[in-house]
Structure 1
Amino acid sequence: MGTVTPRIAVTPRSLSERGHPALAALEEAGYDLLFPAPGRQPTHEEQLSFLPSCVGYLAGTEPISREVLAGAPGLKVISRNGVGVDSIDLAATAERGVAVETTAGANAQGVAELAIALLLAGLRHIPVQDATLKADRWERIEGREVAGRTLGVVGCGQIGRRVVQIGLGLGMSVRAFDALPDPQFAPAGDFSYTTMPELLAQSDAVTLHCPPGERPLIDKEAVAAMRAGCYLVNTARSSLVDEDAILEALGEARLSGYATDVHHREPPEPNELLHHPRVITTPHVGGYTMESVERATRAAVENLLRVLTTPS
């Protein structure tokens, strides 16, 4: 009876449809690669089918539940090509001795640039004016410049710091809130850490770059505390915002607009917020750049090999 070649499942959409040269290192190390859901997230049922034969999981943002982990007794490591692990049952991985690895910072520049791009697109009404012109209508909408305005950055990690620096480069004043502010981060320009209430009250635009909590960070009370006409950007996690509160605030013009790259489900089901004329949505492309994919893939592969080749 021959030896069974160990398998690694690869599910990030940026990799599962077209592959990536960095994955060759896994094959050269003696692993078979499995692409169970090319171009999409695997379902719970699919995970239950393919993971039992795998020792490694190069995972996307799909949920990885306790039930799925229980059905994969040979699994040794989950390697994310990003930083978020809130979709993984970490208590279950700890109990089963499954390592969870991330690629901190690999997609930070891409996400930071998208956050600013969404802000500029919203303040200049680019999507709606593009759509009306393509519909053969000449409708100009007065926009707002960012220079001289205040940007509130919630979460000042690797992504948030880059957003701070871009905002300062555009001539903005920047106020940041972080649960554990780093006093060593002191970029040149009008920058300072502040409290969350002060950030909401002072900012003309707020962008979210923090992990989710047990309840939405931006709820009805938080929106009420914002400066009237504030623009909100979310490239972090959909659970950070109460979508009903956002819809109400858009209707009352408390928020001038909302832009998001993240959704409760991917792809999202049609909903009122998705189709609102003052909402810009993108399909989770913050880290989907040539450069970010390259960095994250190589780091995720290195993490897999390090864990799988380290004696237990």
Structure 2
Amino acid sequence: MSEATAVQPISVDDFHQTARAILAEIGKVIVGQDEVVRQVLMCVILGGHALLEGVPGLGKTMLVRTLADVLDLKFARVQFTPDLMPADILGTNIMEEGEDGRRMFRFEAGPVFANLVLADEINRATPKTQSALLEAMQEKTVTVANHRYDLEPPFFVLATQNPLEMEGTYPLPEAQLDRFLFKIDVLFPSARELVEIMGRTTGLSAPQAQTVADGARILAMGELVRQVPIATHVSELIARLVIATHPDGDSPSELVEQYVRYGSSPRGGQALVLGAKANALLDGRYNVAYEDVQAVAASALRHRILLNFEGLAEGISTDDVVADLLMRLPVE
């Protein structure tokens, strides 16, 4: 999509029709994982980034590839490995010699100059390379040799990572984790779903998804989501939830006080508001309810809460902390 393309407003009916079409096309390829697909779609609509975590072989890469097929966007895949360098992602200046013999530098753009970037197994690269994405994810720009380049909207990073317990992984720094709108856990399929997966993938032909939307439509859907009203008491509840993740707050819960080292940043509150708005609109409602906050709380906060050593030793998960806070939080 060119920069000159104007974003045309769409109606709620157009939003629902497009969302249903996208989910239906993805469903032709991806078996089950309905909540994972829904939350990835939320991130794309909101212009945010998603981090998908799960053991190898669960279809994380296939999901992102299918999304690229469904959306008419420029797609790039980067396989993160220990020897990957920042220039392999961002691009680099190349010296060329003109016809007159003069030498000059030309910028060769890297794969980050796409609309949809798949950062596959992002935690297998070194921290130096991981951090190369920070500016692109936050500012939608890339700086190489003191020259700043703008990334064409829409721009999303959909990253996959293996659980940190697996060999050859480097934990993402907290600053980069915070740039992801959602961290989405991809769970192992059920027996029925596994049978369907084997049937689809071991035949002569594999199902293919068709293109049903483009960048302009995705940007318009994102603008519509941001127009969804949110009541003051729901915003205040989100603020209390974010503050409750901090052990040094006024009255932290026993679980937070004992097992949490750092709580969520303000980006966690922003992710909760935007995610709740998107969830409401996908459900056909034009206002945000407490149930919408509950639906996205784990994905918005699980990577923004840092456990202490005791919490890690006891096997406490950040999902346990979020679930406990949701249960304790008074709803007015």
* TM-score past 0.5 threshold: no
Q: Give the TM-score, by structure 2 length.
A: 0.27
Q: Give the TM-score, by structure 1 length.
A: 0.28
Structure with greater proportional helix content: 2
